[in-house]
Amino acid sequence: MKLLSRQLLIIALLLTVATPAVAQQSASTGFYKDLFMSGGVNLSSRKTLPAAESLELSYEYYAGKDVALQNRLMAGNDQDTNGVLLYPDGAPRFRMLYVNGGSATLHGKSLDLPGRQILRQFYRAGGSYCGSCAGSFLSGRNVDARDDRRLGYLHIFPYNTLNTGLKKERLGHVIPDNSPLLTYRTFGGDGYVADIYHNNGNWLSLKEGPHLEDTEVLATYDSPGKKPHAGAAIWAYKIKPDEGRIVNIGSHPEGISEGERLELTEACFLYALDGVGQPAIKGTLLDGEAWVMDKSTADKDPAHTRIGDRQYHHFRLEVPAGGCRVTLSLAGEQGIDYSLYLSQTGSAFAAEAEFGDNSAGHRKTLVRRLAAGSWYVSVECRSTVEAAQHPDESHYVYSGDTRVLNGVRYQLRMDQKLRRSRRDDSGASAQQ
């Protein structure tokens, strides 16, 4: 009866929510690509990621041991001053960062403080984070009962995790009936994934600890007689809508290219990707005034910083009672393709916008009579770079119109024309 109940629950979940999740898996709108994989100094230098391939996610990676190169990619260089992970205004350029196994502390220290700050900014600005083993440790505060914040860790998961003390073992994973992972995959209908490689990974107690209040348990260990048995093997953390979602995996299912272990990694990725933060509103457009976006990363003025490749910038405008005709005018840099969208229902992404112009070119004008209330405007930079693997296959190099890496300028102006009033025969004012 218990197995039947679990199967019925899984079927119900699939009927209600699985279809939207699948439809969203390649929806990188507003980002350069879906995923960046970190396999740098003191990490496994993986160059392929089976779950990203099977989900058809767009991704890039760094897989090498060159500290200087790693830090130029992450913390910035002459071609890309804000680094590969961030847009010029500090928003995440990829939907998710995935961090491989290895040595969390040594890798974190190799990034130096600027690199670690970039990773923290990526998460706090809305990018999701997923890590396996060392990648899971890296997101945390420290390990076991240590009171200090460990140097080299990111502290974005604000709690300590626990060492399992288990080396080179194969562990089963139990998917609880209420796990969000069941939204995406069925795991054979029994909520169990067997034979997952584990090597010095981490876990969380489900009996005590400050993390219990706001951490989601996605899977538990099946390791009878061993310390982490029935403790959290995979968990998630997200408490602010504008931040990303953290999904930590204590073991190593990520290298498997088929079966339930692949499904487990896919489900973890999909849950992380569905947890990206809500986009920030740059500000409210005012009648007759131009909003100029010409600042650089160094200016630390994200409300007026240039736009990056495939990025959206979001604005708000208010239409007074009675409605009015609104003219939106965008002027950008020559040779760059911009799009302009308008919506009353929320952030004006192309698919949800009521009005828009996504034709080629750097000038756009929208003229519409709008109802009273709040409206949302977005500017999209459709131009992007060409990415190719470096000859040594350790990372990607960019060519083409690389000015988009440091952002391209534009200005956005909003003009309102109220309906003219006239006097009726009684002397009262009427609207035309």
C-alpha distances (whole Å) from 24 to each of 94, 222, 275, 318 are: 15, 31, 11, 30
Give the per-residue pLDDT at 28.
82
**Predicted structure pTM score:** 0.90
**Residue 248 included in any domain:** yes
- Tell me, yes or no, whether 178 and 288 share the same domain: no
The rounded distance, in Å, linking the Cα atoms of 374 and 396 is 42
273, 294, 329 - which closes a domain? 273
* Residue 418: predicted pLDDT: 84
Pairing of strands 373-381, 232-237: unpaired
Domain coverage including residue 8: 2-273
pLDDT at 346: 83
Beta strands in 56-191 (DSSP E): 59-63, 94-99, 128-132, 162-163, 169-174
C-alpha to C-alpha distance for 327 and 325, rounded to whole angstroms: 7
Same domain, 172 and 49: yes
Q: What is the CATH number of the domain that holds 390?
A: 2.60.120.380
User: Is 431 within a domain?
Assistant: no
For residues 69 and 180, membership in a common domain is answered with yes
19 and 120, same domain (yes or no): yes
Q: Report pLDDT for 13.
A: 41
Q: Same domain for 242 and 124?
A: yes
Q: What values do phi and psi take at 412, rounded to 5?
A: -125, 125
Could you tell me whether strands 373-381 and 312-319 are parallel, antiparallel, or unpaired per DSSP bridges? antiparallel
Last residue of some domain: 273, 304, 339?
273
Residues 313 and 398 in one domain: yes
- Regarding whether 303 and 252 lie in a shared domain, the answer is no
Tally of residues, the chain: 432
- Tell whether 198 and 128 lie within a shared domain: yes
The structure tokens listed for 11 are 């079927």
- Residues 253 and 289 occupy one common structural domain: no
Give yes or no: residues 161 and 299 share one domain.
Answer: no
pLDDT means over runs of 10, the chain (432 residues): 43 36 51 98 97 98 98 95 97 98 98 97 98 98 97 98 97 98 97 97 97 97 97 98 98 98 98 97 97 97 98 97 97 98 92 95 97 97 97 97 98 89 42 38
The CA distance from 28 to 85, in Å, is 14
Domain count, the chain: 2
Task: Report pLDDT for 204.
Answer: 98
Residues 269 and 286 in one domain: no
Instruction: Please report whether residue 12 resides in a domain.
Output: yes
Residue 25: predicted pLDDT: 31
In a domain, 355, yes or no: yes
- Give residue for tokens 């920030």: 280
Q: Final residue of a domain: which of 273, 302, 326?
A: 273
Residues 198 and 300 occupy one common structural domain: no
Compute the 3-state secondary structure of the chain and give helix, strand, coil in percent, each to the nearest 5: 25, 35, 45
Residue 98 is part of a domain; what is its CATH number? 3.40.50.880
- Per the CB < 8 A criterion, the answer to whether 31 and 92 are in contact is yes
pLDDT at 367: 97
| Residue 414 Rama label (left phi>0; alpha psi -120 to 50; beta) | beta
pLDDT (0 to 100) of residue 24: 32
